[in-house]
Amino acid sequence: MSTNADFDLFRTSEDHEALREAVRAVAEDKIAPYAAAVDAEVRYPQEAHDALVASDFFAPHVPEEYDGVGADALATCIVIEEVARVDASASLIPAVNKLGSLPLILDGSEEVKARYLPPLAKGETTFSYGLSEREAGSDTASMKCRARQDGDGWVLSGQKSWITNAGVSEYYTVLAVTDPDGPRGGNVTAFVVEKSDEGFSFGEKERKLGIKGSPTRELHFDDVRLPADRVVGQVGDGLKIALRTLDHTRVTIGAQAVGIAQGALDQSLAYIKERKQFGKRIADFQGIQFMLADMAMELEAARQMVYVAAAKSERGDKDLTFFGAAAKCYASDVAMKVTTDAVQLLGGAGYTSDFPLERMMRDAKITQIYEGTNQVQRLVMARQLLR
C-alpha cells in the first residue's frame, strides 16, 4: 500500500513554490530586460550575475557550513528553471557553479571545501569545470591532459575544450591523467586550478549558435605548478568523481531545458491570443490548439521527470544514473521541440529577433549536446537497464 510519503516525490513544498515566486520576480525584473542585448552583443550577463548574487540565487547549492544557503537539489533546479525561462545564458551561472564545485562537495577534503566554497557562496567568483578536450568529448577516459608529480606538488600540461564561463571564473575543477600507464578510467585525478596560476591561459571565445551570453573557451596549461593540497579526492579517482558529478548535474541541465521550454510556451500563448487571422484569434483554430496541447503536455512530463530525478539526487539513490540521464535527455528533446513549435506559432514574427523565440530555439539546442549528448544519455540508460 502506498503512503503519503510516496507521493511527496511528485509535489513541491510550499517553500519550493515560494522560492519559485521569488526567483521569477528577480528574473523578470533584473534579468529579462537585458537578455536580448546580452545575446546580440555576445557579452557576459553581468546584470544577471549581480542580481543572482544579491538575491542568494548565485550558487544556492553550497551548504550552510560553507556560508551558502544550502538549497536542496530540487530548489537549485527551480532556481535554474526560472532563470532559464527568461535567459538561458544567465541560468548557466548557478548551473555551472554547481557543476564546477560539486566534485569538491562530493569528494573534496575539508581543507579544500573550506578554502574554495565560501568565496563561491558569497558571489566572489564563478566556478567552472574542465573535463572535455578536443579529442575527448564523450570518450572522457581518452583525455590527454597530464599532471606529473614533482616533489610535493604537481605540474599540469595540456588543454581543455568547451569550458563554460572560462575567463570569468576564478576557480576551475580540472581532470588530468596522473598515471599514463595506469588502468583506463582509474588513472585520472581532479585538481582545483586558480585563474592566477602561472602558465594557465585561455583560448579565444567560441562563436556559437546560442547561449551567447556565456563565454565558452579553451583552457591551456603550460607546466602549471599546483601544490599537493589542490587535489580533489584521492589520486586516481578523478574520473569516478567526474561521472558521479554528472549524475547529479545532468538533472540541472534538464531543469534549464524545462525553463527554456516554459518561456517559449508563455511567449507563444501571449501572441496567439492577440494575433487575428480570418476574423478570429489564431488561438481559436483547432490545429493551433492541438499544437499547444502537445507542447504543454510534453513540457509537464519533462518537468516531472526532472523533479523526480532531483529528489533522487538529493537522496543519492542508486538509480540516479538512469534517472539523471533520462531527465536530461527527455527534457532537452522537449525543449528543442517546444521552442521550434513556438517559432512556428508566431510565423514570420517568430523568425525575427523582435521576439525572444528565435533566441530560445537557438539556446535550446545546446541542452541536447552538453553534459553528454543525448545519444550518450541513451547509452547510459541502456547500460543501467542491462546491468
C-alpha cell at 269: 500563448
Compute the distance between CA of residue 200 and CA of residue 159 in angstroms, rounded to an integer. Answer: 10
* Cell representation of residue 186: 582509474
Q: Is residue 262 within 8 Å of residue 88, measured between CB atoms? A: no
Q: Which three cell numbers, joined as nine digits, stand for 289?
A: 490548439
Strand partners, 216: 164
Contact 26, 51 (CB under 8 A): yes
Cβ-contact 127, 62 below 8 angstroms: no
Give the residue among 112, 55, 51, 120 at the shortest CA–CA distance from 87.
51
Q: List the one residue out of 211, 213, 230 whose CA is nearest residue 221.
A: 230
Measured distance CA(35)–CA(22) in Å, rounded = 19
The distance of Cα 246 from the centroid of its chain, to the nearest Å, equals: 10
- Quote the CA–CA distance of 325 and 249 in Å, as a whole number: 10
Active site residues: 371
